[in-house]
Structures are given as C-alpha cells and as structure tokens.
Amino acid sequence: MNAEIVAVGSELLTPQRLDTNSLYLTDQLNSLGVELVMKMVVGDDRRRLAEAVRAALSRSEIVIITGGLGPTEDDVTRDAVAQAIGRSQSFHQDICDWIEARFKRMNRVMVENNRRQAFVIDGAEILENDRGTAPGQWINEHGRIIMLLPGPPNELKAMFSAQCMPKLERLLPPQVIRTRFYRVAGMPESDLDQLIAPVYTKYENPATTILAAPSDIQFHLRARCADEASALAVLAEVGGEIEQLLGDRIYSTDGRPLEAAVGAMLARKNATLAVAESCTGGMLAERITSVAGSSNYFLGGFLTYTNRMKIEILGIDPAELEQHTAVSEFTAEAMARGAKERTGASYALSVTGVAGPDGGTEESPVGTVWIGLANATESQARRYRFLGDRERIRGLATQTALDLLRRKLGTAGS
Amino acid sequence: MNAEIVAVGSELLTPQRLDTNSLYLTDQLNSLGVELVMKMVVGDDRRRLAEAVRAALSRSEIVIITGGLGPTEDDVTRDAVAQAIGRSQSFHQDICDWIEARFKRMNRVMVENNRRQAFVIDGAEILENDRGTAPGQWINEHGRIIMLLPGPPNELKAMFSAQCMPKLERLLPPQVIRTRFYRVAGMPESDLDQLIAPVYTKYENPATTILAAPSDIQFHLRARCADEASALAVLAEVGGEIEQLLGDRIYSTDGRPLEAAVGAMLARKNATLAVAESCTGGMLAERITSVAGSSNYFLGGFLTYTNRMKIEILGIDPAELEQHTAVSEFTAEAMARGAKERTGASYALSVTGVAGPDGGTEESPVGTVWIGLANATESQARRYRFLGDRERIRGLATQTALDLLRRKLGTAGS
C-alpha cells in the first residue's frame, strides 16, 4: 500500500518553517510496511487543497492531511476535503459540548469560532483529541483511507498512535516488524559507522537506520518477518554483533534519552543527585527533571550564574575563585563539592564554561566548558571544548555531563 | 507571480530526511515578491515526477525542481522534465569535457555514468555548476519558467544566487515586501483571532499569518507594494489598528521570544532577577539564560525539588510548609521571597506545581501550578491549571511566569 501526506498551512510555505510531522508519520507508516510516495505542502487555500487531495487520492490508497483543523477562517481542511470527495458536513453538538467543557476546565469561555471545530464530514469517524480542541477525522472513501489530523505535533502523535495505527493494522496484511533502538553517547557518527558498517551491511534484514544529533546517535535495527519469533531472532543475531563492538558506549537499548538512562541507574542504586550550573543555566537540571519520577533521585541544585552566587551560595573561596577564574578546574570541582555538601546528595554534577557568543578569553575561548563530578569520597573535573553556537554548546555540555555521571555509575563500587 | 518547488529524491521520503533547500529558495523568491504556493517531494520515479511537474506548470508561473541530476540510474529529473514538456534531450560534448576536466583536477577518472550529466533538454539554457558535476538547466516553456537545480545545498545556493536570481529579476516587475512580526502571550489563538480578524480581514495587503504554540502566538503582517514607503505605510496602518486592540498583550514586535523581551526590560531598568524552581526543575532559568548577554541581569537561582531543599536552602518554615503543602500560595510566595533575599536580586520568580504524570491530589490535580513573584516591597502568588503532558505543563508554567514578570516590569514604578 502507498501513502501520501498533505501538510496544510501557509506558515509551512515561509522560509521559517518546515513540516516535521511527516517524519513521524513516515516512520509509523513504514513500520506497517506502507511506503510513502509523495509529500505535499499546501497553504491555507481551499481550492488548492481540494485539488491536492483529489490528486493524492487518484494515486495512493492512504492520504493523510495534517493541520488546518483550527477554529479560524484560515483553517480550511474540513471544507477542502469535503469538497474534494463531494460530501457534506454536519454540526455535532456532542463535540461542541466536549470543546466547551475543555475550555471550562481551563476556566475559560469557548468563543463562537470554536463551533467550527464541531463540524464533521458525513460518514467520517471522529478521532478524539485529548490534547487540543480539534478532533481528527477518519474517512473511508471507496476503500481509500483519508485521515484529517491536527497540526500540533503532540496532538497529532497522540491521536495517530492511539487511534489511527490500530485501525491501519486491521486493514493491512499481517506482517511483523520488530525494532531495536540503540542510543550512543560521546562518539562522532563517522566513527560509529566505520565501526559497525561491516556488520550491518552484511544483512538486508534487519534494515539499519542511523540518526545523528550532536553527541547523541540513535540507530535502529528493523526486522520485517512473517512472524515474531523470526523477527526477534534476526534482531538478536545482528544486535548481538553490534553490542559486542560498541560495549558501554551504548547507553540505552529502549529509545530512552540519556537523562532517563542515568535516572534509572541512580534509582537502582538508591542514589541521589544534585547539580550546580553556571553556563548551562538550568538546562542540565531541566533535562534531568524532564523524566517523570525524577523526584525519586533528584534533590535540586544551584544556578550560580555570577561569581558572587558561586561564593555566597556554594561557599567557594573568593580569592581562589579570582585566581583560577570561574571557568577552571578549581571552580568546577568546588561547585560540585559545594552542591554535594549543601544537599547531602550522593552525587553532584557541575558545569561552568563560556557558552558565547561573548565572554571568550585567550585561555578559555567560547566553547570551553569544565564539568565537575563529586561523590562521597572524591571529586574531579574535566575540560572540554565544544564547537557551535550558544544553544549547541550548552546542549553538548549537558550531554557530556550526563554521560560522565553514567560512566561513573557504571563503574563497579562507585 | 507564483512559484512551486518540487524536491526529488527517495531519501526525502524517509523518516530521517527533510528537504531544507526549499527554505532558502522560498526566502529568495519572497525577496523578489514571488509567492510560494506549493511544495512537493517526489521519489526517484520518472512517471510520478513528470506528473508532478505537469501539475505544477498548470498552476504556477515558476517551477523549481531540485535534485535528481546526478549520474546514476536513480537520477530521473532530466528525463522526467523532458517528458513532462514533450521535448528531447541532446548530448553536449562541451559539458562532458568540462566534467572530465573537473575529475582530472581531483586526480580521478570520470566514469561512463557521468556522461548522463551532459544531456540537456532542447532549448534549455545551461546553468554552470562550479561546485559539483551536475549542471543546472533553465527552461522557458511558453512564458513559464522551469529550473532544474542540483540537490546538494551548497551547489544549489551558489547556482541559484549567482545565475537564477539575476534572470528572475529581469523578468519580474519591481516590488518591495516588508514584514512586521508580533508575538503575544497569555491568550489562546481563538481569542486572539476573534479580536483581530475584524481588522486583518478588511485588507488583502498586508497578508496576515498566525502561528500558534501553547501560550505563545506569533503573527506576521506582510505588505507587498511597488515601493518601500507604500509598504511601510500599509504596515503602519494595519499594525497600528491591531496594536490598539491587543495593547500590552503584545510582548515583542521584532520576533524575539518572551525570555529575550523580559531580559531587555530588566536590562533597561538595571534590574536583576533570580528564580526558585520546583516542578519546572530549571526550565525557567534555562530559557532566561538561553539569551546571549543574560548574565547582565540574571543572577542565578535555586532548584528546590524536595521539601528539604525548600526548607534548608530557601529557609521556608517546615511547619508552615507541611501545613500548606509544597504546591500552595504560601510556598510559592515563600520561595520567591527566599530567592530574592538570598541573592539580592530586584525580582525573583518561583514555580511550584504538579507536572505529572503522577503526584496529583484532589486539591492539586496534575497541572496545578503556583507562580510567585517578589520584588523589593512585596510578594504575590497566583494559581494556574494547565492541561497537557509533563512537557507541556512545564512549558506553559515557564511562559506564564515570564509573562507575569513582564507585566510587572511594564507597570509604572514597579
């Protein structure tokens, strides 16, 4: 079966915005064995969108339309699809009541415009939206499937995975696809590929996909077989060879990000963590606390953005701080020790550096970051030099700090 | 004049890759007053691509096709376009010689496949490629323009800016485009639209685009006129009416995010800021410090994720904390006051709440967030109820906290 995606929104035709929902949808469709054969982006234009939908239906069995389901005049998807397939729309009081109740829960009053979102194309099944006001629609048009999904990625993903995937699975021939996810920290993509390509290129099945982000590589092995046992056997064979090669560079085999992997290690050890951040300004703690349940091991921390904060809040000696400067081994270690002592945590991480664009010196150019780690018995700090803009430098610093702690936690007896 | 972009390549239909050339091309086209009305991505499939090109030519005056000009069997763009417009191709010995010389300069031998790249559609002008082997082509088809450009971004950009832009400028009437950006906090999209639609729908020029994210709406007015003075006058008229209606809900007129707008207000007042975060775990400070130069006004803060941290680090009375609970007006206010006192900042923001998915109670269900604000003379706290997942609740809490401070800073004498 073939699919097409039509992303709707004039903002997606500006130089600032790309449709990224299609990446998620493609991944999901591929996992069912459905191939994507075309993507289109259309502005908020009823006539053009209706034409695009008609053209897509003439080529492909599955047509997914994303966006344009909002409450404004600009939101033309419902009308355009109805026009493309020659059906009418009806007002559904129950949807309107549901939207109104949602507003009420947020102590707001529903405005008249939102009534538009209660119109449904005749014959469509309603896809509930538990994260926004726009319901989706699922239409079977002479055996071809049309889906109308909301544009906001969190709404679209929740709706597609919970409601569309099970419906699609029932329509498609049985096929088992099983995937193994690996995540690797602290290694450039080219080095990783050099190491594991001799293994994965030997096999057509599973298919290997490598996704690289700064200091964080994900790769997937995807086996497609007639039954589950065969798929798992294929994954075990190829996955086993790759795990041998990568060893402890793999930090996650279930897709979890580094902060979740480190959190699980802390929880297993009944250990606790605190942080002291300067240049990352809360980003390290933000990542740690993005994990549900992080209050089981994360105590808190100190954002010591100024030297005075480092002295007064973390108790760093002012003379030594001035002598070594804020971006130094001394300061990173003292910050980690200070955070550990003041919180009683088993481990403390610290970050101090120059995220730029200003503030670089000859000794510590932009991108220089010291990362400190303290536990009950010792403290240490390491110097790094990251390249890129402010956001990238801060991201790499938090990733490296988390990986440092991961390796420490992985060492026996630490 | 309208344009469409067709990106060619099966890799652009995988979950890993997006066509980003179109962003650059859109920006360039817009600067000439050309509107992009559709984008398509097509795989390496001759028939589908020929159909896509025919459809694009039926709708738009300019059709740009990117990619698929390489030397392999998979590179179908030349053949597909020739087929779409019913022209033949001819082999150009001079292009072949040029490609061969290029290989020689790199001490390599040209393989037979590369001869394909010396085929040119009859009547096309050749666009030279000084960064790769694939020449581009410029075709005038009964007054409609078709461009064939190479896929690698550096080759495409160099070719388009040096060769296509001057050709387009000669074809197009002189025209100026000027844009105003607005950002609005604390207002749902539907309310905003209800308020300003009566204004912007009166005008065809400027065009209005609304982009909504949770508690953060951007909208653009784009005026297209024969000269700059007219474009600015149009923007001033419509922008002025909208500014009247929205008043201080507009926090930025230059595209800057809320944390940058608040930072600039703090810097103008020579004021400083500290934070105390519980459920947002550093996200508020991370946003504040994402702004370059934030060290001019941000002192730092306290991540008091546990009750013990709230008591020991911020000095909150343990009995009162237990009585009121961590998610309460009392605690939010005490956190803000504690952060202000311990840092000497002019302002302190605090956030304490239940980000979920666990931890909700009857009194404080998931999504309940108290936000506190203290300055030299007073402190206050407000209760909010946000809907969504952990990430969304935390994001809305930080946005709301920043907006609370912005309104405080905007008040005379505060």
DSSP string, B19-30: --HHHHHHHHHH
Question: According to the model, what pLDDT value does residue B211 have?
Answer: 79
Angle subtended by helix axes B189-200 and B228-246, to nearest 10:
130
* Residues of A whose CB is below 8 A from B190: 70-72, 111, 113-114, 133
Partner-chain contact B43 A38, CB within 8 Å: yes
Partner-chain contact B212 A55, CB within 8 Å: no
Residues 349-368 of B with CB under 8 A from A: 356-359
Confidence of residue B161 (pLDDT cuts 50, 70, 90): very high
**Amino acid, single-letter form, for residue B127:** L
Confidence of residue A193 (pLDDT cuts 50, 70, 90): confident
Which SS3 state, helix, strand or coil, does residue A383 take? strand
| pLDDT, tens only, A347-366 | 999 999 999 999 999 999 99
Question: According to the model, what pLDDT value does residue A413 have?
Answer: 43
Of the candidates A74, A305, A357, which has its C-beta nearest B298's C-beta? A305
CB count, 10 Å around CB of A379? 18
The rounded distance, in Å, linking the Cα atoms of B290 and A390 is 8
Does the beta carbon of A113 lie under 8 angstroms from any beta carbon of chain B?
Answer: yes
Residue A74 CA: distances (Å) to CA of A286, A331, B108: 36, 54, 55
Partner-chain contact A70 B189, CB within 8 Å: yes
Partner-chain contact B298 A313, CB within 8 Å: no
Residue A143 has pLDDT above 60, yes or no: yes
3-state helix, strand, coil in chain A (%, to 5): 45, 25, 30
Residue that wins the pLDDT comparison between B293 and B130: B293
The rounded distance, in Å, linking the Cα atoms of B357 and B355 is 7
Partner-chain contact A299 B305, CB within 8 Å: yes
**Amino acid, single-letter form, for residue A229:** A
Confidence of residue A105 (pLDDT cuts 50, 70, 90): confident
Summarize the confidence of residues B23-44 as an average pLDDT: 92
CB count, 10 Å around CB of B236? 13
Does the beta carbon of B398 lie under 8 angstroms from any beta carbon of chain A?
Answer: no
Does the beta carbon of A244 lie under 8 angstroms from any beta carbon of chain B?
Answer: no
The rounded distance, in Å, linking the Cα atoms of B193 and B114 is 55
Partner-chain contact B295 A306, CB within 8 Å: yes
The rounded distance, in Å, linking the Cα atoms of B124 and B130 is 19
Question: According to the model, what pLDDT value does residue B412 have?
Answer: 44
Question: According to the model, what pLDDT value does residue B242 have?
Answer: 95
Of the candidates A131, A292, A299, which has its C-beta nearest B309's C-beta? A299
Give the closest residue to A185 by CA, choosing from A293, A101, A257, A270: A257
Confidence of residue A209 (pLDDT cuts 50, 70, 90): confident
Mutate to test the interface with A, among B182, B224, B303 (most CBs of A within 10 A): B303
Residue that wins the pLDDT comparison between A193 and A29: A29
Summarize the confidence of residues B273-279 as an average pLDDT: 98
Partner-chain contact A39 B308, CB within 8 Å: no
pLDDT over 70, % of chain B: 99
CA distance A145 to chain B (A): 20
Question: According to the model, what pLDDT value does residue B125 have?
Answer: 97
Torsion of CA A79, A84, A85, A88, to 10 degrees: 30
Whether B13 and B67 have beta carbons less than 8 Å apart is answered as: no
Partner-chain contact A394 B290, CB within 8 Å: yes
The rounded distance, in Å, linking the Cα atoms of A78 and A176 is 34
Partner-chain contact B189 A72, CB within 8 Å: yes
Residue B140 has pLDDT above 60, yes or no: yes
Question: According to the model, what pLDDT value does residue B113 have?
Answer: 82
Does the beta carbon of A313 lie under 8 angstroms from any beta carbon of chain B?
Answer: yes
Whether B390 and A292 have beta carbons less than 8 Å apart is answered as: yes
Which residue carries 């909002």 as its tokens? Answer: A70
Beta strands B144-149; B62-66: pairing state: parallel
Residue that wins the pLDDT comparison between B344 and B133: B344
Question: According to the model, what pLDDT value does residue A210 have?
Answer: 76
Angle subtended by helix axes A189-200 and A228-246, to nearest 10:
130
Confidence of residue A190 (pLDDT cuts 50, 70, 90): confident
Question: According to the model, what pLDDT value does residue A51 have?
Answer: 96
Confidence of residue B226 (pLDDT cuts 50, 70, 90): confident
Beta strands A136-141; A144-149: pairing state: antiparallel
Summarize the confidence of residues B133-140 as an average pLDDT: 94
Question: According to the model, what pLDDT value does residue A121 have?
Answer: 97
Residue A412 has pLDDT above 60, yes or no: no
Q: What is the largest CA-CA distance in chain B?
A: 89
Residue that wins the pLDDT comparison between A181 and B335: B335
Give the closest residue to A314 by CA, choosing from A356, A274, A271: A274
Which SS3 state, helix, strand or coil, does residue B205 take? coil
**Amino acid, single-letter form, for residue A395:** G
For residue A98, give every residue at least 6 positions away whose Cβ sits within 8 Å of its Cβ, in sequence order, or none.
none
Confidence of residue B414 (pLDDT cuts 50, 70, 90): very low
Summarize the confidence of residues A326-342 as an average pLDDT: 97
Which SS3 state, helix, strand or coil, does residue B136 take? strand
Does the beta carbon of B15 lie under 8 angstroms from any beta carbon of chain A?
Answer: yes
The rounded distance, in Å, linking the Cα atoms of B159 and B316 is 64
Partner-chain contact B282 A301, CB within 8 Å: yes
Average pLDDT in chain B:
93
Residues 179-238 of A with CB under 8 A from B: 209, 211
* Residues of A whose CB is below 8 A from B288: 281-282
Residue B342 has pLDDT above 80, yes or no: yes
Beta bridge partners of B183: B218, B252
Confidence of residue A120 (pLDDT cuts 50, 70, 90): very high
Residues 115-154 of A with CB under 8 A from B: 131, 133, 154
Residue that wins the pLDDT comparison between B172 and B305: B305
Mutate to test the interface with A, among B5, B35, B220, B289 (most CBs of A within 10 A): B289
The rounded distance, in Å, linking the Cα atoms of A39 and B9 is 11
Q: Computed over its alpha carbons, how large is the radius of gyration of chain A? A: 26
- Identify the helix (H) or strand (E) that includes residue A242: helix A228-246
Whether B343 and A314 have beta carbons less than 8 Å apart is answered as: no
Question: According to the model, what pLDDT value does residue A349 have?
Answer: 98
Domains of chain B: 2-171 (3.40.980.10), 176-252 (3.30.70.2860), 258-410 (3.90.950.20)
Give how far the C-alpha of residue B310 lies from the chain's centroid of Cα atoms, to the nearest Å: 38
Residue that wins the pLDDT comparison between B372 and B204: B372
Residue that wins the pLDDT comparison between A228 and B330: B330
Summarize the confidence of residues B9-32 as an average pLDDT: 90
Summarize the confidence of residues B214-223 as an average pLDDT: 87
The rounded distance, in Å, linking the Cα atoms of B316 and B325 is 12
Residue B87 CA: distances (Å) to CA of B81, B90, B154, B159: 8, 10, 29, 24
Mutate to test the interface with B, among A5, A303, A393, A394 (most CBs of B within 10 A): A303
Question: According to the model, what pLDDT value does residue B15 have?
Answer: 87
Give the closest residue to A67 by CA, choosing from A159, A143, A145, A139: A159
Summarize the confidence of residues A325-333 as an average pLDDT: 97
Question: According to the model, what pLDDT value does residue A224 have?
Answer: 84
| pLDDT, tens only, B84-99 | 999 999 999 999 999 9
Does the pTM surpass 0.80? The reply is no
**Amino acid, single-letter form, for residue B216:** D
Beta bridge partners of B64: B5, B147
Summarize the confidence of residues A271-294 as an average pLDDT: 97
Which SS3 state, helix, strand or coil, does residue B137 take? strand
Nearest CA in chain B to A75: B210
Residue A6 has pLDDT above 60, yes or no: yes
* Residues of B whose CB is below 8 A from A27: 15
The rounded distance, in Å, linking the Cα atoms of A231 and A252 is 20
Ranges B32-36, B109-113, B398-402: which has the least confidence: B109-113
Residues 19-38 of A with CB under 8 A from B: 19-20, 23-24, 26-27, 30, 36-38
Q: Is the ipTM of this complex over 0.85?
A: no
Which SS3 state, helix, strand or coil, does residue B157 take? helix
Question: According to the model, what pLDDT value does residue B114 have?
Answer: 86
Residue A7 CA: distances (Å) to CA of A40, A60, A65, A156, B15: 6, 16, 6, 12, 15
Partner-chain contact B306 A299, CB within 8 Å: yes
pLDDT over 70, % of chain A: 99
Whether B351 and B405 have beta carbons less than 8 Å apart is answered as: no
Partner-chain contact B299 A305, CB within 8 Å: yes
Which residue carries 């000095």 as its tokens? Answer: B315
B92: DSSP letter: -
First-to-last CA distance in chain B?
51
Residue that wins the pLDDT comparison between A200 and B82: B82
* Residues of A whose CB is below 8 A from B345: none
